[in-house]
Amino acid sequence: MSKIYYDNDVSMEPILSRKVAVIGYGSQGRAQALNLRDSGVEVYVGLRRGGRSWSQASQDGFEPLPMEEAVRRADVVQILIPDLQQPSVYSSVIGPNLRKGAALGFAHAFNIHYGLIRPPGWADVFMVAPKSPGPRLRDEYVAGRGVPSLIAVAQDGSGKAKALALAYAKAIGSTRAGVMETTFKEEVETDLFGEQTVLVGGVTYLILRGFETLVEAGYQPEVAYFEVLNELKLIVDLIQSGGISHMLESVSETARYGGMTRGPRVIDERVRENMREVLKEIQSGEFAKEWAGDVDKSSAEMRRLVDAIKSHQIEKVGEQVRRLMKIG
């Protein structure tokens, strides 16, 4: 296991002595810019003039700049716009205006690992990947706590890129919780795998198939909703607070026995083989090529699939149940 870095292990001087341009002011951009500023870092927010985030950044006390101007002023450029936008913005705005000796930071390894962005060889290229959505990163910082982050270095032009990454992680509050070192390859491949097979794809379709099975068998959709979706949060909270075994010890003996004896029949070896195939597509770059190679096509397919979920019976039933029973 990699070393875990905490506040006392890390000096913030490498980031305090630099000017940071945060490119993008969405969920992560806003949280990181605010945390950096509150930690004493000089922060520029780089945005498209007149974009939706421009007024929000102004309300938060920043003087937003056009992206190219923010990049020209910065010693560290933290790129926090969506993955698919990054290559074109880098080639047209960031790369041509990057100061010699400046560092590039990312919150996800996707574009560097798959070669969609190719920084100059002299640049430090690092990653600080908070393991939470932006609003929680901000809330935890304000509360005097933090959320864990992963750090990695892809290029070390100065020989000090790791110290810079750790200092950045400290400035956004992550060393309060713990920071673990990884690689760009490990971060992106495990992140994509987790999203696709468990956290987003896996859990979504497990819920849908369970709901459909109960409804097809004649059970009330509202009851099916409670049993396969509403109670999921209770289980996940138990797992998060103490691990899987803690959850198993916290549920009834009937639930424990039934889950342990029937669960492997549902999530069986065929599922693991399917997961291995998904992992191979990630490792080979096939998924990245599919997702980023034809943006219009992949985005249209994503919208089609999301729209299908929105029109699914479970969404309509869930909306009614949450409203009538004051859930959520």
Residue of 108, 113, 246, 312 marked active site: 108
In a domain, 264, yes or no: yes
User: Which CATH number fits the domain that encloses residue 109?
Assistant: 3.40.50.720
pLDDT, tens digit (0-9, with 9 covering 90-100), for 299-309: 999 999 999 99
Does one domain contain both 9 and 146?
yes
pLDDT, tens digit (0-9, with 9 covering 90-100), for 224-262: 999 999 999 999 999 999 999 999 999 999 999 999 999
The answer to whether 174 is a known ligand-binding residue is no
Tokens of 137: 């990163």
Known active-site residue 108: yes
**Who wins on pLDDT, 1 or 23?**
23
Report the pLDDT value the prediction gives residue 197, as an integer from 0 to 100: 98
Does one domain contain both 95 and 238?
no
> pTM (2 decimals)?
0.92
In a domain, 191, yes or no: no
Does 175 have pLDDT greater than 80? Answer: yes
Report the pLDDT value the prediction gives residue 328, as an integer from 0 to 100: 62
In a domain, 172, yes or no: yes
The answer to whether 138 is a known ligand-binding residue is no
Helical residues (DSSP H) of the chain, grouped into ranges: 13-16, 27-38, 52-59, 67-73, 86-89, 95-97, 110-113, 134-142, 161-171, 184-194, 201-216, 221-225, 232-242, 244-250, 253-266, 269-284, 286-293, 295-310, 313-324
Report the pLDDT value the prediction gives residue 32, as an integer from 0 to 100: 98
What is the arithmetic mean of pLDDT over 36-64? 93
Distances (CA, A) of 228 to 168, 199, 222, 276: 41, 15, 10, 26
The answer to whether 27 is a known ligand-binding residue is yes
In a domain, 190, yes or no: no
Q: Can you tell me which residue has the tokens 């520029």?
A: 44
The answer to whether 134 is a known ligand-binding residue is yes
> How many domains does the chain contain in total?
2
Final residue belonging to a domain, choices 150, 182, 214 = 182
Domain that holds residue 210: 199-325
Q: What percentage of the chain exceeds 70 in pLDDT? A: 100
